[in-house]
A and B are shown apart, each in its own frame.
Chain A
Amino acid sequence: MIGAISTPVIIDACKKNSTDGSTTSGSGTAGTTTSTNGSCTVAPTETEGPFPTKTPASFVRSDITDGKTGYKLTTKIAIGNINNSCAALAGAIVDIWHCDAEGNYSEYGGSGMQSTNYQSVHFLRGRQTTDANGLVTFTSIFPGWYSGRATHIHVHIYNTAGTSLSITQIAFPEGSGTALALVNGYSKGMNGYTYNNADNVFSDDKTGIEIATVTGSLTAGFELNFKLNVKA
């Protein structure tokens, strides 16, 4: 593949000096463009291939666990269309993301020079398209928590064209016997936990419309159901 890609550039790229900003700012074949030492380099001499194939973003999967340990959580989100009497909205793109049992999100650690292994960097982030019933399903783990926030799942709904329709968060029911109480904050416990009524996102939700229905047990795993209506 790379041989095929680079050949035309390299052959006429007995390197020339350049102070032109547009050149030094790079192109698709950065490694083979001009240099300042005036010397020539070899052309690629390899068998072509493998050939690239169009691939969706790695978010696109139903199981977003990526080996993270925790109590299994199946998240079912149904999308309705406010502009159509809240009837099921098919073909909507639904992104969800949440933290792991320790309260950490997948992201680049630190800044600057730090690099990331290209296997499974986007843990606990997923994307699905709603079916004819407006439904998407994800498998992951029950989220942990971190300081200052109640346990939550982020949701971003797009239309088929990728235009944002709604950005929101799903809250969890609280109290004895709830999944939240059973999981009990994993190894952190619940000391210092921010409950929904003190949470800066959920505290204005007096009717609880942001709170999902969560059923199940520690051994069988939990199922979360949530209905979200958007203007599509």
Chain B
Amino acid sequence: MPQKVITLCYRKIIDSTATNPWDKFIYEDSFTELKMQSQFYNQEGKYSTFAEIILNVPGSEKLHFLVSASIMGYLQQLNGIIPDVLDNLGRRFLTFENFKFEIINSDFNQIDKHKVAINFFSRPLLWHDSIDQYLLVSPFKEITAEETFTNLFQIQPFVSIHAIKNIS
């Protein structure tokens, strides 16, 4: 029977309302790093916002990547587990190796305008079934045992199926 292997994306938005320490470290450190790195693309100091630089300066989209260095230490502190997304038992269950950091908006003179996102891409999951509003999944393995432990979870805001592959 054909089955589907899926990869989930969780886009974690961090803005000035962040309250927990991990989010606040990401928020403050990415703002500091952006202020430093953006000067390369703003050598005359003409622009005060991230949006203006992106619109006007060729190559400035590299800032997403450059500023991501400020959060690498925090990503490593997650030990490969995607935060916030829970299964129906209330546990985090998604693991990741891949991410993409984005700067959404920022104003170099006003930290409260700063807003970033971390896209976490899950390791591949085997999608066994859908039960009511829930997906029944298990970590995808090349060799499947007779019995597989599964997670039941509901797709929530800022979580999406990023990629899908049919296997037989």
Contact with B along A11-49 (1 / 0, CB 8 A): 000000000000011111111111101010111111000
For residue A57, CB closer than 8 A to chain B, the reply is yes
Knowing A58-B73, A115-B99, the reply to whether A31 touches B154 (Cβ < 8 A) is no
Instruction: Please name all residues of chain B whose beta carbon is closer than 8 Å to the beta carbon of A50 when the two chains form the complex.
Output: 77, 79
**What residue of chain B has the Cβ atom nearest to residue A27's Cβ?**
B17
- Per the CB 8 Å criterion, the residue count for chain B at the interface is 62
**Could you say which of A25, A39, A45, A108 contacts B89, with CB atoms under 8 Å apart?**
A45
Do A118 and B75 have beta carbons less than 8 Å apart?
A: yes
The one of A57, A117, A121 in contact with B70, judged by C-beta atoms closer than 8 angstroms, is: A57
**How far apart sit A35 and B133, CA to CA, in the bound complex (Å)?**
13
Report the Cα distance A107→B64, complex, angstroms: 9
Q: How far is the CA of A167 from the CA of B40 in the complex (A)?
A: 7
Q: Tell me the smallest distance from the CB of B11 to a CB of chain A, in Å.
A: 7
Q: Is B159 interfacial (CB-CB < 8 Å)?
A: yes
Closest chain B residue to A164, Cβ basis: B39
Report the separation of the CA atoms of residues A182 and B139 in the bound assembly, to the nearest whole angstrom.
Answer: 50
Does B119 contact A115, Cβ atoms closer than 8 Å? Answer: yes
Cβ contacts under 8 Å, A158 to chain B:
36, 39
Q: Does A5 contact B (CB under 8 A)?
A: yes
Q: Which residues of B contact A118 (CB under 8 A)?
A: 72, 75-76, 96-99
| Pick from B75, B83, B100: contact of A108, CB under 8 Å | B100
A122 to B101, CA, bound (A): 13
Residues 60-72 of chain B: 1 if any A CB is under 8 Å from the residue's CB, otherwise 0? 0110110011101
Q: Is B35 in the interface zone, CB < 8 Å from A?
A: yes
- Which A residues touch B64, using CB under 8 A? 108
Contact with B along A34-74 (1 / 0, CB 8 A): 11010101111110001111111111000000000000000
By the criterion CB–CB under 8 Å, are B158 and A30 in contact? yes
Q: Is the interface of B mostly helix, strand, loop or mixed?
A: mixed
Bound together, the chains give a CA A2 to CA B22 distance in angstroms of 9
Task: Decide yes or no whether B136 CB sits under 8 A from chain A.
Answer: no
Contact call B121/A35, Cβ cutoff below 8 A: no
Q: A53-B77, A115-B121 are in contact. Are A42 and B86 (CB under 8 A)?
A: yes
What CA separation (Å) do A46 and B20 show in the bound complex? 16
If A26-B117, A117-B98, A118-B98 touch, whether A35 touches B69 (CB-CB below 8 Å) is no
B58 interface hit (Cβ, 8 Å): no
Residue pair B84, A51 in contact (C-beta under 8 Å): no
Query: Is the Cβ of A32 less than 8 Å from the Cβ of B156?
Result: yes
**Taking the nearest CB of chain B, how far is it from the CB of A154, in angstroms?**
9
Does A147 make an interface contact (CB < 8 A)? no
Q: Is the CB of B40 within 8 A of A156?
A: yes
- Assembly CA distance A34 to B13 (angstroms): 13
Annotate A136-162 by CB proximity to B: 1 below 8 A, 0 otherwise: 000000000000000000001010001
Given contacts A4-B20, A50-B77, contact A30 B13 (CB under 8 A): yes
Q: Is the CB of A41 within 8 A of B86?
A: yes
The answer to the question of A227 belonging to the interface, with a C-beta cut-off of 8 Å to chain B, is: no
Apart from A27-B17, A41-B86, A164-B40, what 8 extra A-B contacts exist at CB < 8 Å?
A26-B13, A27-B15, A28-B18, A31-B84, A31-B157, A117-B98, A121-B68, A156-B39
Seen from chain A, the residues whose Cβ lies within 8 Å of a Cβ on chain B are: 1-2, 4-6, 24-35, 37, 39, 41-46, 50-59, 93, 106-108, 111, 113-119, 121-122, 125, 156, 158, 162-164, 167
A-B contact pairs, 15 of them (CB 8 A): A5-B23, A24-B157, A26-B115, A26-B158, A29-B20, A34-B157, A42-B89, A50-B77, A57-B69, A57-B70, A106-B65, A108-B62, A156-B40, A162-B35, A162-B36
